[in-house]
Structure 1
């Protein structure tokens, strides 16, 4: 565009010169006009250039698109259709679910009770064996045992002190005569499961009978042994039996409610399990484990 305008401006004097070539004398006004045109030509070009520059500045320029691959717009995820609400359950269905939950809770409770009973029985037996060993060492060489215990730190020293205190204590006053006939016992706690219930819980679950009893305090060892044999025979159909007998009701209640066993009042234990061959009936009076023949 600018080149075309410049060509037009330069061709104007040339046309005037050709037009005056056929005349002898150029008109004075023409010469003067041509001189004026030649003088004004640079100004017109400058004005034209300014106008073109102004027009170019006012013309909006589009920003070229950026180089590189086109950016893909993220498409919104399709909306999922709303789920239809489930129909409310009937009373029969809710009752069946509650019954299933109760059965599962009872099964778990029985399993926990069995595990705890076996664990407590093992700990009790280990404690009694340790007591018997301490008594044997103390009676064999009391002075040597006392020196060794003083020189070597020993965990559970309070148990040893309790055994020595019981051995050195004076004998208690004679007990009142025991009543004739089978002794009467009070049941403080009872739990377990029958063979049918164990079969429903699984092939590896044993039938269980657990009891915590309180017997009269004046029973002799012979009467306690007879009580142990009677209880063992009464519950012989169970694969696992854990029965603890105390000669004090409060001591039996503490063990039943808070799992606190009194060694002073714990007098008899019946423990049987199909995986062990230990003596099932033990007299535990005075911190000793004396097996009872069946």
Structure 2
């Protein structure tokens, strides 16, 4: 197998292509380690929750051990979620230009081996989860329902992005319980704000496949919104900013958090202004830029905790 065989169309040169052993590449691609942006986006609500917990607890910084566990867990569980998604979507992926070269539809990995790899990644995630208190462990197990359901939503609704939001934002519900052993209102509101954020950025991502998806019957907010995408993104991003702001207020955050939130909002406004739904490459760049937006917000939380 050549060095780039099976590389998905929106994956450019990366360490998997250039450095990983050939036998391992299909599995790394199943886990999306050639495209780690999704793991970063899954991690952001976890770190936001840890930052908000530090503010609420009056601590000078988020718990470093929790942040490390969230990092490892986000990469492991995103890989497991993508592997599950590829198993479920293998027939659909074969019909879409961007995804037909994924390891399962291209024949590089059998469904049986993909399931074994899924279990291995899930065990890593379980090992991470068991480092937390009992309430947080329970919250982690509850998240599996959203992960299991998400791949099927695109077949029945134009709003699968809500399902992704429920799954990818779950980390917002983890940082508070990890510190306090309970789920306070601030973290529920943070979760709602993160869901709005995910719906918006995944709509941008879905515009890469809009035409192929429409042909094979896959539904998405990109297809639903179409030419109304820009105002709909503005609405969801605005909702995200307002809800996250309320979460910060409930946690007792101060001016520095507000400044970080304003910078986060400015980044989201820039995305809406720059968007061209007819330019897939630009859509991908804007989608990826949400990692930077998330880090800006997290930085504001860290500084607010430190200065208070």
User: Is the helix fraction higher in 1 or 2?
Assistant: 2
User: Is the strand fraction higher in 1 or 2?
Assistant: 1
Q: TM-score range by the shorter chain?
A: under 0.3
Computing the radius of gyration over CA atoms, which structure comes out larger, 1 or 2? 1
Q: What TM-score does the superposition give when structure 1 sets the normalisation length?
A: 0.22
Q: What TM-score does the superposition give when structure 2 sets the normalisation length?
A: 0.21
